[in-house]
Amino acid sequence: MNKLIQRLLRKHLPSDHDVTPLGALLHAFEETLDQNTQDRLMLERSLMLTSDELNEINDTLIHQIKEIKTVKDQLEKAFIKQAAILDASLEGVISFTPEGQLDQANKTALKFLDLSLEEARSHSPKSLLRALLKNIHNTQSFIGNIRSTRNSKNKTLKGNFKTKDNKFFEYNIVPELMNNKILGSIFSFRDISESQNNQELLKYQAYHDNLTGLPNRTNILHTIKHAITLSKRYKHQAKILFIDLDDFKKINDTAGHEQGDRFLIEASIRLKSTLRESDTLGRLGGDEFLILLDNTHSQKQVKDLHSRILQTLAQPFMIKNNPYVISCSIGISSFLQDGNTPEELIRKADMAMYQAKKLGKNRSHYFDESLERLAIHRVKTEENLRAAIKNNDFILHYQPKIEIHKGQEKIIGVEALIRWKKEDGSLIYPDSFIAISEENGLIKKLTQWVLEESCRQLNIWKDTKLKNTPISINISAIDIADFNFVNSVISILDEHNIPGNLIELELTESVFFSDIASVNNKLALLHQKGVKLSLDDFGTGYSSFSYLQDLNIDYLKIDKSFIQNLSTNDRSLAIVKSIIDMGRNLGLSVIAEGVETQEDKSILLKADCHIVQGYLYSKPTTAEDIENLHF
């Protein structure tokens, strides 16, 4: 540095100028310069440092900005997505500021408010509430609910409202919280009209009969229960009428179920028309209806009502252009004398109805205690019957059918009549158990047993003088209605190796109450197999001749009630003669049953009846006894 300065001085000073004295000065310069150089170097160093830091900071900042941008993008995307999701929702969602100003709202909510987002935001809390309430029906409870949120700001609130166009909404108000600080509230609501309607529908269905729309059993039970309470409090004498249509099954079978349903609807309308406002009509199921009559019904009024009911049902029902007339049987039980629970009153009215049926239908019957005893007897008998079937506690008695017109009287067949053997050796006669076994279906098992037992007996008789003597078996309408009946008869015959012509079936006219065509088909199949058919108790049922012309019957059995009056009642004689004539004209053999006296027999013989059956010849008796008869 020193030399450099000296050189510069020599350049600018005269050449002879001594620069030595300047040494001190130079030295001072030099020092200063050094100092400056050092300072500069230091400065330079520190400047370099600062710029690195700045660069670093700059880099960090650039990075952070980038991150913020990414986050912002993501947030923006998420926000748009959330908004889109909210807009797509059928639920209306509105977020409010703590002051009650609208902050955000989705499309459904804005549609409900009938405002744009900007408009909604510009509304004051009050006018916004007004816009919300414009459509709402039960504003009072809604406002009350909203108000209550003010007092419990951090609680969720649920409620319902109904709109003026009858839609049901449910809503939710939840606080918008951040770190326990309330930022506002979210109000969401949705249309639940459909599910509400479904609920109402379900409720309706649970209490009403699907077909007729009448109150159903559950509903009636409720109503009766209520009526019982009133009856207890005010000493009302209310009544229950249990109504069962007579022979409705016949309509169902002949016209089909769909028409049967139409019939029931029409019947329910007619029944309803006979009642007063205060009376209740319900359907228990099938063709069973129930009427609850309130206090003011005297016995006479009940009787009048019954006549009205019968009258209205007696007007022909047109089904597929065919007129149908129907009657009903009614059982009546009285509050509280017959019971103090709905179930008991219905059960007793049912018992009384059953009795009305038994007494010939188309009538009403009041419950009394004897019916209960009968019902208990029925249940007990059914139990015992089941056990008897299991234990094989039956025997067959046989009663001969005698041919009387050929000079020598001769057994041409026997009728099998079932008896129930008791443990003590006594016998129970069919009149006290056949009807019950028909009701509960046990008859099918009995018939099967009778058929098998008869076949077994026929095989035993093969080697006796009774060989080739046919056995007649009584068949119930329930048997014939069973689709498997024909197969079962044929397979029993085949199993025992018995030809069809050794079995005859005795049917009463009741078998034709159901589908006549299908009965005819079944009987034709049996006939093909050689099985003969006999129309039993002829004259006591409908005695409609229409099925006589279509059916391959072999015998007509005149009911014993006509035979028993033969000698004393001219009309009976006239009927018997007519049946015999008709039978002959149709090519049928006529059998008279219940022949007890010689006089009866003579009259019948004179009237050209060739086959008789009755105590005159033999009471029904054991197979061994029959073998020893001398005819």
429 binds, options ligand C2E, Ca ion, none, Cβ within 5 to 8 A by partner type: ligand C2E
614 binds, options Ca ion, ligand C2E, none, Cβ within 5 to 8 A by partner type: ligand C2E
Residue closer to ligand C2E (CB basis): 267 or 478: 478
Task: Map residue 330 onto helix, strand or coil.
Answer: strand
Residue closer to Ca ion (CB basis): 244 or 506: 506
Segment contacting Ca ion (CB under 5 A): 83-91, 261-269, 339-347, 529-537?
529-537
Cis, peptide link before residue 336, omega less than 30° from 0: yes
Residue numbers 367-406 binding Ca ion by CB under 5 A: none
Q: Which of 366, 398, 614, 623 binds ligand C2E (CB under 6 A)?
A: 614
Binding mask 498-537 for ligand C2E (x = CB under 6 A): --------x-----------------------------xx
Q: Which two tokens stand for residue 116?
A: 């744009």
Size of the site for ligand C2E (CB under 6 A): 21
- Neighbouring CB atoms inside 10 A of 12's CB total 7
Q: Which of 76, 316, 615, 622 binds ligand C2E (CB under 6 A)?
A: 615
Longest Cα–Cα distance of the chain, Å, equals: 201
Q: Which two tokens stand for residue 540?
A: 């006591």
Residue closer to Ca ion (CB basis): 338 or 537: 537
Residue closer to ligand C2E (CB basis): 159 or 430: 430
204 binds, options ligand C2E, Ca ion, none, Cβ within 5 to 8 A by partner type: none
Residue numbers 226-285 binding ligand C2E by CB under 6 A: none
Give the 3-state DSSP-derived string for 446-507, with helices as H, strands as E and coil as C.
HHHHHHHHHHHHHHHHCCCCCCCCCEEEEECHHHHHCCCHHHHHHHHHHHCCCCHHHEEEEE
Angle at which helices 217-234 and 193-207 cross, to 10°: 70
Task: Map residue 552 onto helix, strand or coil.
Answer: coil
Residue closer to ligand C2E (CB basis): 429 or 542: 429
Task: Map residue 177 onto helix, strand or coil.
Answer: strand
Residue numbers 481-510 binding Ca ion by CB under 5 A: 506
Residue numbers 464-483 binding Ca ion by CB under 5 A: 474
Residue numbers 425-454 binding ligand C2E by CB under 6 A: 429-431, 434, 450
- Neighbouring CB atoms inside 10 A of 331's CB total 27
Give the 3-state DSSP-derived string for 42-88, with helices as H, strands as E and coil as C.
HHHHHHHHHHHHHHHHHHHHHHHHHHHHHHHHHHHHHHHHHHHHHHH
Q: Which residue is nearest to ligand C2E (CB)?
A: 614
DSSP letters along 333-349, please? EETTTS-SSHHHHHHHH
417 binds, options Ca ion, ligand C2E, none, Cβ within 5 to 8 A by partner type: ligand C2E
Angle at 237 between CA 232 and CA 241, to 5 degrees: 115
Residue closer to ligand C2E (CB basis): 95 or 508: 508
Q: Which of 418, 511, 533, 623 binds ligand C2E (CB under 6 A)?
A: 418
CB of 506 to Ca ion, least distance (A): 4
CB of 387 to Ca ion, least distance (A): 26
Instruction: Give me the half-sphere count of Cα atoms (radius 13 Å) on the Cβ side of residue 390.
Output: 6
CB of 506 to ligand C2E, least distance (A): 6
Q: Which two tokens stand for residue 172?
A: 């939710």
Whole-number Å distance between alpha carbons of 418 and 593: 17
Q: Does 537 bind Ca ion (CB under 5 A)?
A: yes
CA distances from 189 to 124, 193, 257 (A): 21, 12, 47
Q: Which of 113, 417, 493, 523 binds ligand C2E (CB under 6 A)?
A: 417
Q: Which of 353, 433, 620, 623 binds ligand C2E (CB under 6 A)?
A: 620
CB of 631 to ligand C2E, least distance (A): 15
> Which residue has tokens 């007890």?
596
The pair phi, psi for residue 585, each rounded to 5°, is -65, -30
Residue closer to ligand C2E (CB basis): 175 or 620: 620
Residue closer to ligand C2E (CB basis): 88 or 427: 427
Using CB atoms within 10 Å of the CB of residue 259, give its burial: 0 to 12 exposed, 13 to 18 middle, 19+ buried: middle
Q: Does 596 bind ligand C2E (CB under 6 A)?
A: yes
Whole-number Å distance between alpha carbons of 519 and 539: 20
CB of 533 to Ca ion, least distance (A): 12
Residue closer to ligand C2E (CB basis): 438 or 515: 438
The length of the chain, given as a count of residues: 631
Q: Which residues lie near ligand C2E (CB under 6 A)? A: 399, 417-418, 429-431, 434, 450, 474, 476, 506, 536-537, 560, 593-596, 614-615, 620
Q: Which residues lie near Ca ion (CB under 5 A)? A: 474, 506, 536-537
